[in-house]
Amino acid sequence: AIVFLSLGLSAKAQNYEPSASNLKQREWFSNARFGLFIHWGPFSIPGSGEWVMNDRKLTVHNYTNLKDFFNPIDFDAAAYVSMAKNAGMKYITLITRHHDGFSMWDTKYSDFNIMNTPYKKDIVKMVADECHKQGIQLYFYYSLLDWRREDFPHETGRTGQNSGRKGKGDYASYLQFMKNQLTELLTNYGEIGGIWFDGHWDQTAPEGEADRSSRIDWKYDEIYGLIHKLQPQCMIGNNHHLTPFAGEDFQMFERDLPGENASGLSFQTASDKLPLETCETISKSWGYNLSDTSYKTNKQLVNMLVKASSLGANLLLNIGPMPSGKVQPEFQNRLASMGEWLKFYGESIYNTKAGFVKPQPWGSVTQKDNKVYIHILDSKNASVAFDKFPYKKITKAYLLKDKTPIKFIHKKGLTEVYTGFANEEIDNVVVLEVAK
Ligand code: H79
């Protein structure tokens, strides 16, 4: 452990004290509960997901041609932002640069960027301006891993091995490149809620192995220090699938609720100090995939949001727009339905904290002030029972839908709430007003 600490973290990062604005930002984030992830860029063109370069073993030379075809004539930043807002989302996390190394903004530090496509307009700027205008927070996804750059330490990577790169990377050079780009992103686009790093795992042993120390020293103290210097409130999260490192402000779980590991990526435990976020896709793929029609139902999507909330986590729900910039109707419809649901049931989601019990086979619990929200998602029974109910009194019990009173028993060792046979398709929410 000592070796790992001295490798990955400097004294500076270990002594990180979040600023007052950062703590405020964390609180805002924890209350927001629902955000939109956008995986989009030239990788969308082949319609095979954002890993197409790696999956099809394309060389740097061949892949670079994609930039000559990226011309998203249907892209409308205002429509994206209002779509997110109407879905009840409070923030957007935009891919600024994925593993393929394409920069979606006007960067001085790479030619492989949006200004060198037929489109020639700074997409990050368009989204940022619109987010600030419509009052929704903006987060930047930024890949630590790069499948194209010669200076990225590709020789030790788990991916990008068929890119045609020879020799070895030069991390000092690559680190400077990332710092330059992050400086642009945190200088030219207004206030940014957070940076969402991904790709650290490229330089570790596979998930689940005992020793997941990194093959390179990323010098996170320098990267994180720079970010917090440029924008102290800016939250740092790193999808390294490990216990949070010093200097990080939130913890994410890829395709998993905190504490679960259905993805095979989430062996880490959930932080009890940092805000939590789980990210998921509507179909299977992150980036646009022509053959992926495995859309989750509205009920499944609401259930994900409810379960995340009941564990004190946000849901960052992804769309992979088409190469043209159009968002396919299957995604649009589902987002609109979630917005409809949240308009009514939002009080049981936003500004809540984790429930006093973990998700149960029948559903989940969220809480706020003196209210306990019991979400019956899937139950064949007319009641739910708790052997340890943490409040002395239940002063009121009713359906959130229409305030219909609900019967309950509340005595030592048993609290049973007669929810009735669930008759709302998506989520039957019972409110218990409680006192200590
Ligand atoms: O941006 C999205 C994905 O492109 C990116 N993170 C989300 C948010 C991502 N995709 N996969 N991963 C992160 C981690 C997966 C790693 C693995 Fe593997 C893929 C494990 C096994 C297959 C890479 C390839 C490491 C070993 C083989």
Say what the pTM is: 0.96
Shared domain for 340 and 416, answered yes or no, is: no
Residue 290 forms part of a structural domain: yes
Residue 339 has pLDDT above 90, yes or no: yes
Higher pLDDT: 2 or 76? It is 76
Q: At what angle do helices 329-345 and 298-310 cross, to 10 degrees?
A: 50
Same domain for 385 and 418?
yes
Tell whether 275 is covered by a domain: yes
Distance 55 CA to ligand 1 centre (A): 11
Asked if residue 48 lies in contact with residue 103, where contact means CB atoms within 8 angstroms, the answer is: no
Distance 158 CA to ligand 1 centre (A): 10
* From 38, 52, 201, mutation site for ligand 1 pocket: most ligand atoms within 8 A of C-beta: 201
Q: Is the pLDDT of residue 8 over 90?
A: no
Tokens encoding 292:
């992926």
Whether residue 358 lies inside any domain: the answer is no
Kindly state the DSSP code that residue 416 receives in the 8-state scheme.
E
pLDDT band at 3 (very low <50, low <70, confident <90, very high): very low
Q: How far is the CA of 312 from the centre of ligand 1 (A)?
A: 25
* 7 Cα–ligand 1 center, Å: 24
Same domain, 310 and 413: no
In-domain check, residue 421 = yes
- Tell how far CA 310 is from the center of its chain: 17
Q: Do residues 94 and 191 share a domain?
A: yes
| Domain harbouring 409, CATH code | 2.60.40.1180
CATH number assigned to the domain comprising residue 44: 3.20.20.80
Which of 237, 260, 273, 250 has the alpha carbon at shortest distance from 364? 260
Q: Which of 327, 352, 377 is the last residue of a domain?
A: 352
Q: Is residue 289 part of a domain?
A: yes
Q: Is the CB of 254 under 6 A from ligand 1?
A: yes
ipTM of the complex: 0.95
DSSP state of 360: B
- Answer whether residue 206 shows pLDDT above 70: yes
Q: What is the per-residue burial (b if ≥16 Cβ within 10 Å, else e) of 332-342? A: bebbebbbebb
Mutate to test the pocket of ligand 1, among 254, 255, 265, 279 (most ligand atoms within 8 A of CB): 254
User: Which token pair is 216?
Assistant: 């390179």
pLDDT in tens, 114-162: 999 999 999 999 999 999 999 999 999 999 999 999 999 999 999 999 9
Name which residue sits closest to atom 26 of ligand 1, judged by CA. 158
From atom 19 of ligand 1, which residue's Cα is the shortest distance away? 159
Domain containing 408: what range? 363-435
Q: Tally the domains of the chain.
A: 2
> In this structure, are 277 and 423 located in the same domain?
no
Q: Are residues 405 and 270 in the same domain?
A: no
Q: Is 198 in the pocket of ligand 1 (CB under 6 A)?
A: yes
Listed residues 352, 386, 403: the one ending a domain: 352
What whole-number distance in Å separates Cα of residue 4 and Cα of residue 59? Answer: 34
In this structure, are residues 416 and 384 in contact, taking their beta carbons and an 8 Å threshold?
Answer: yes
Ligand 1 midpoint to CA 169 (Å) = 21
Residues 298, 412: one domain? no
74 lies in some domain: yes
285 lines ligand 1 (CB under 6 A): no
Place of tokens 């788990």: 158
